[in-house]
Chain A
Amino acid sequence: MSSTTINKAGNELMNAKELRADGVREQRLLLSLATPALLAVIAIIVIPVGWLFYLSFVGNDGHLSLENYQKMIEYKSYARTFVTTFQVSLLTTLLCILIGYPLAYFLAIMPARLAGFFMLAVLLPFWTSLLVRTYAWLVLLQKNGILNDFGMAAGLWDEPIKLVHNLTGTLIGMAHIMLPFLVLPLYSSMRKIERDMMHAAANLGASPIQAFWKVYFPLSISGMVAGSLIVFVLCLGFYVTPAVLGGGRVVMVATQITAILENQFNWGAASALGVVLLVATLVILFAVSKLFKLDNALFGKH
């Protein structure tokens, strides 16, 4: 045995140094590919959020203080805003599940090619500007809007129903905009449920309804929770639709932040609101992912 073959004493191993160097080179190359994205994340997200976080702890006199957070506890309007925000988000999520689950199921059981076509119908509005869709709802829902005109002409109701500039309008608009965010993850998790699962359930004596509730639904929960979380979190910070369709009556956190900045130019108070919302969102995400063991669906683990 020459000194360059593999040696238990670990002395001179054949090409060991070169192979190690090659491995390090490969890792560096992969890291360099991710660098632009990492830098962008730092510049666009980490630094500004950190700055806002810092501002939230700076009082009106320019010194560090908790006064911005104290105000949030003192003034009832802040609490009301948070209640409204969570209420609207929760209701929107529930509406999306109610409409989205049957839709995703319908897409999942049909042949893939047909499903792709119907998926277009779900995605098409997705590609239209948010603002356009929101104002479109305004046109449909307002006092002299198409829906009220039609309803009254058909004799369904006599007085124009107030469908917009309130919670109803906000929920209709938001549910419409959020629906794809629920349907897409739900559809993909439903597609993964093997057809044999339902066959097996039926074969073992389950009626179609029993098979659905005992086998299909439990297997689709993870997709449903993942989609619901996305919808819920997006709703928490939503601005345009509640502002337009809520007509000032549905004040959510994002609206409140804008108001503070426009009226008082108080960065500290606005930042504090943002920070509280961010922390609340993270707590909810963490709790739900623990509750449903959602690591795979949310964080891409396999």
Chain B
Amino acid sequence: MDSNPDSGPSQLPTALPIKIQGLTKKYGSMYALDSVDLDIKSGEFLTLLGPSGSGKTTLLMAIAGFNRPDAGSIRFGDEEMILKAPHQRGVGMVFQSYALFPHMTVAENIAFPLKLRGVAAAESAERVDTALATVQLSGLGDRDIDQLSGGQRQRVALARAFVFRPRILLMDEPLSALDKKLREQMQIELKHLHEQLGVTTVYVTHDQREALTMSDRIAVINEGKLTQVDTPHVIYNRPANAFVADFIGESTMLPLTANESGGLQFDDHLIAHDHAGDAGSEWSLVIRPERLFVIGDEVIDPEKTVVFPGVIREFVFQGDTAFALASIGEQHNLSFRFGTDSSSSQDTLHPGDSISLGLHRSDVIIIPRDRKP
């Protein structure tokens, strides 16, 4: 989308990078943001993911200008924004509550930012129509807000946020009020819309699946600090620490011990031949439940696969997948998932059965052990 007919000869870019440095915000003695540094690339879809109270919304609000940080810098492109009022920042935003104006029609809501910018009536009407078409609400411009369903309101809020062609779009859990089916559909639509508009997008959610589905990169935030910023693949497959491994996806963590030859093992299973770690540092093995598989009669190459013998404790059918818990050794349990198609081994597993669970060495995830007092 680079052919905006009326962007004029000035050739404004459709997106701007955001550079955040040392951003700090304290509430009392609690750090909502603790010296956050974050570079968001031009045109990128970046998701701020974290539990409630992690600071993700505080960070978004700081970018929008709705709170006053104690220190730091926020730059859009080359321009310092930290002291600018919200209405001078020119970013679009979709609110969790949608914040549609109930005393205006759908079209008036969408035209609101255009009117403030002095866009002529005819052009404004045309852009409102285009925006409505983009969010698939053509013809609903005359409706009142209270005549719309939740999903439709969400789309109006979206249209209002991009109709004035902001170069940065912020979204604060925009799908959290929708039911599951609609939410999953909107995730895909939002992703397409982002590709179409090409605008730098910062998206806040506490839903890890949503973050994995939509993002170019995910910034995992906890207790006011960014714990890992990377692509969904890396975040899921190579979590940097116990918080990320635990918060995103399901996982089992097993403690590892170093052996004499510099390798790491769990009980007597060799997990890694040599792991470049500082002497004395402790490590954990992270296992994703769906990466484990039940070993039948086939021959297993121990160089490629770690084998855990165990006993089934629980077995739960969940429709698309089945979930099972197996005890390995004296104190540890492994959870694992598998498909429920007719060829799967679900019918043959019962609590009390002995099984062997395999994990490809390429699926082994090793993280520093969470050292809690």
Contacts and interface: CB of A to CB of B under 8 A. Distances in A.
Interface of A: 194, 196-197, 199-208, 210-211, 214-215, 218-219
Given A203-B86, A208-B87, 5 more contacts: A201-B112, A202-B85, A205-B164, A210-B87, A218-B103
Interface string B84-115: 01110111110111011111000000001100
B87 A203 contact: yes
B66 interface: yes
28 contacts: A196-B95, A196-B97, A197-B99, A199-B66, A199-B93, A200-B101, A202-B65, A202-B87, A203-B89, A203-B93, A204-B87, A204-B112, A204-B113, A205-B87, A205-B90, A205-B113, A205-B116, A205-B117, A206-B116, A207-B85, A208-B87, A210-B87, A211-B87, A214-B112, A215-B101, A218-B103, A219-B101, A219-B103
A302 to B, nearest CB: 12
Contact of A203 (B64, B96, B101, B102): B64
B167 interface: no
Nearest to A205: B116
Interface string B154-181: 0000001000100000000000000000
A219 B96 CA distance: 20
Q: How large is the interface on B (under 10, 10 to 19, 20 to 34, 35 or more residues)?
A: 20 to 34
A220 to B, nearest CB: 10
A192 to B, nearest CB: 11
A199 B87 contact: no
Nearest to A203: B93
B160 A204 contact: yes
Contacts of B64: 199, 203
Nearest to A193: B102
A214 B66 CA distance: 19
| A-B pairs with lowest CB-CB distance, top 9 | A200-B99, A196-B99, A204-B113, A202-B86, A205-B116, A203-B93, A218-B103, A202-B87, A196-B95
Contacts of A204: 87, 112-113, 116, 160, 164
Nearest to A198: B99
Given A205-B164, A215-B101, A218-B103, A200 B90 contact: no
B97 A210 contact: no
A204 B112 CA distance: 7
Interface string B59-83: 0000011100000000000000000
B96 to A, nearest CB: 8
A6 to B, nearest CB: 31
A172 to B, nearest CB: 35
A166 to B, nearest CB: 41
A210 B86 contact: no
Contacts of A200: 93, 95, 99-101
A143 B97 CA distance: 57
Contacts of B93: 199-200, 203
Given A204-B160, A205-B90, A199 B99 contact: yes
A233 to B, nearest CB: 25
Contacts of B101: 197, 200-201, 215, 219
Contacts of B100: 200
A204 B64 CA distance: 11
Nearest to B95: A196
Nearest to B61: A199
Contacts of B116: 204-206, 210
A196 B101 CA distance: 10
B349 to A, nearest CB: 42
A205 B102 CA distance: 18
B97 A206 contact: no
A202 B90 CA distance: 10
A214 B90 CA distance: 18
B28 to A, nearest CB: 14
A201 B101 CA distance: 9
